[in-house]
Amino acid sequence: MANSDPAILRKAVSRLYDAFRESAENVGNVSSVDISIRQHQTMSLVCRLTEDKPTGVTLKELAEAMKLAPATVSELVESLVKKDFLQRIQNPEDRRAVQITLTDHGQTLLDQCIKCVNGLCEKLLSELPASERTAMLNALEKITNKL
């Protein structure tokens, strides 16, 4: 059973996850930044959501996208604001509303992490023959679409 298809996939996902995490931790001064994976995910999601809403996202929108309680997301955002990765901007139309965006420092960190992880992906893919690479990428795309 150890060599079953699900076990092989689970092992590959686990090793890729560890390799990506380790790769991201070694970006520039990231190891001294002390950022958790959940904080990184929060920053990445804010980046993605603000592509469509450059003025920022609300805490409620972020919590819904993360499928977490607003209080949990509020703590994550607060920790990232203290580290100067996220900022809260008062909504000019509603003084009670706050928009969340990446700071320049946060965007720089994300860009460095993406560059590092992309480098790891390119290295791993370059070790496969073209036909295997294409088949694997097609399969991963199908899996991703199912998720």
Q: Is the pLDDT assigned to residue 91 strictly greater than 50?
A: yes
Q: What is the identity of the amino acid at 56?
A: G
Q: What are phi and psi of 70, to 5 degrees?
A: -55, -35
Which has the minimum average pLDDT: 6-10, 59-63, 78-82, 130-134? Answer: 6-10
How large is the average pLDDT for residues 90-105? 87
- Tell which residue, 32, 35, 144, has the closest CA to residue 79: 35
| Cα gap 69→55, rounded to integer Å | 23
Show me where the domains of the chain are located: 1-34+104-147, 37-102
> What is the H or E stretch that residue 11 is in?
helix 5-25
Q: Please identify, in words, the CATH class of the domain defined by 37-102.
A: mainly alpha
What is the pLDDT confidence band of residue 24, given thresholds at 50, 70 and 90? low
In this prediction the pTM is 0.73
Report the pLDDT averaged over residues 97-123. Answer: 89
Whether residue 19 contacts residue 120, with contact meaning beta carbons closer than 8 Å, is answered with yes
